Amino acid sequence: MKFFIDTANLAEIQEAYDLGVLDGVTTNPSLMAKEGITGEDQIRAHYKAICDIVDDKVSAEVISTDFEGMIREGKELAKIDEKIVVKVPMIKEGVKAIKYLHSEGIRTNCTLIFSAGQAILAAKAGATYVSPFIGRLDDISFDGLELIEQIVHIYQTYGFSTEVLAASIRHTMHLIKCAELGADVATCPLKVITGLLNHPLTDKGLAQFLADHAKAAGK
């Protein structure tokens, strides 16, 4: 399973990259706004800065909601760097835009997926990734992980090449369950990735090893 980090914060992206397990980055307009990134030039420069840190696959989201606007923005975003994946919302015009961008050889990530039906549409249009938001489904008492299982099953059954990018991940159990269910990618905040490191028995065991070594060495 690939790990993407879900942030526009350069320091966090660098930290995850330095850990050696990062395969890509996802952003969205809210995450960009959180970093105070506004205006076309600043946004382009920020995406470029992200691309300069990681090896590949930086999702950059369009703001337009009409077909022409999404195509124009998608082409502009794709020009910033070959690592860019154009993120397009799951709306009617978005499906058409995904189909068009796919035909132009531009990779897409269909975002705001909340049902298997939407995931089927995005795959048929040629999306490179679909992003089911599991945390936001859990928030309204729907089972986000069940949706991951459903989409993985459907894609495997029909041999769709679209990758399932589990998004809106809130904690380490979400991430582990997504791995069990066969999600191709999980995008999550830095704290979820580093949270996988933690186990009290690891800390206890290491402390014991070091203490025993020190004792034997007469320290």
Q: Which residues of this protein are in contact with ligand E4P, per CB under 6 A?
A: 6, 26, 28, 111, 131, 133, 135-136, 167-168, 187
Phi, psi angles (nearest 5°) of residue 91: -135, 170
Q: Between residues 58 and 205, which has the closer beta carbon with respect to ligand E4P?
A: 58
Q: Between residues 128 and 187, which has the closer beta carbon with respect to ligand E4P?
A: 187
Please, where are the H alpha helices in the chain? 10-19, 29-34, 40-53, 67-80, 92-103, 116-125, 134-139, 144-158, 172-181, 190-195, 200-216
Minimum distance from residue 59 beta carbon to ligand E4P (Å): 6
CA distance 171 to 196: 9
Minimum distance from residue 218 beta carbon to ligand E4P (Å): 52
- Residue from 57, 83, 87, 177 carrying the catalytic annotation: 87
- Burial level of 15, CB count in 10 A (0-12/13-18/19+)? middle
Q: Between residues 47 and 133, which has the closer beta carbon with respect to ligand E4P?
A: 133
Minimum distance from residue 190 beta carbon to ligand E4P (Å): 13
Whether 87 is catalytic is yes
Q: How does DSSP assign 62-76, residue by residue? A: ----SHHHHHHHHHH
Q: Between residues 25 and 152, which has the closer beta carbon with respect to ligand E4P?
A: 25
Minimum distance from residue 217 beta carbon to ligand E4P (Å): 48
What residues act catalytically?
A: 87
